[in-house]
Structures are given as C-alpha cells and as structure tokens.
Amino acid sequence: MRFAYETKSTPLAGGTAKVIVPKWSAVVPGTSDAAEFGISEDYRRMTKFPNAENTDFKKIARPVATMINKAGAKIQSNWECEARKKEFICSAI
C-alpha cells in the first residue's frame, strides 16, 4: 500500500490557496507494509510529470510496476479460490 499527498498549496478562487490532500488525510495509520510519500506539486499538478526521470514519477511508477507484475498471479489465485468456494457450496446442496 502506498499513500501519496501533495506538498504544495493549490491556488483557489479568490486568490487563496490550500493543500487539498494533506499528509494526515492521505495516510492511514497502522496500515501494515505501507509507505507514504509527498509529491512536490499542488493537487492539480501532482500527477502531471515532465518525463520518466522525474523523482515524483519514480515514486509512483515503481510501486505500480510491482503491482502490475504481481497481478497475474493474484488474479489466478483469486479464480482458484472462487472455484474452491463454488465447489464447496455446490457439494453441500
């Protein structure tokens, strides 16, 4: 699990600015095996990266790549689990 939040205030109407997703709002305390990181942009720009070498891009891209690499095995495991549940339920009828 990864938690991201912006570190710069987002300009709002009327000349004000506000951090939309502050750290305290983005991070779920006590989540096991979690990592948190700040993105050095405001809310509107926090997912707009100039290139793949950007530090903030790498903070997000690495865990997403890991999830993608694990997805096939996880999907297969889920299907097998569902098949076992279906087999158990059908045999009990």
Q: Express each pLDDT in 25-42 by its tens digit.
A: 999 988 888 888 899 999
For residue 42, give its domain range.
Answer: 2-92
Instruction: Tell me the C-alpha distance between 31 and 12, whole Å.
Output: 32
For residue 49, pLDDT beyond 80: yes
The whole-number pLDDT of residue 9 equals: 95
The whole-number pLDDT of residue 92 equals: 67
- Residue-wise pLDDT for 51-83, tens only, equals 999 999 998 898 889 889 999 999 999 999 988
Number of domains composing the chain: 1
Q: Grade residue 93 by pLDDT with cuts at 50, 70 and 90.
A: low
Please state the separation of Cα 65 from the chain's center in Å. 12
Instruction: Tell me the C-alpha distance between 90 and 76, whole Å.
Output: 21
Interval 7-14 mean pLDDT: 94
The whole-number pLDDT of residue 16 equals: 95
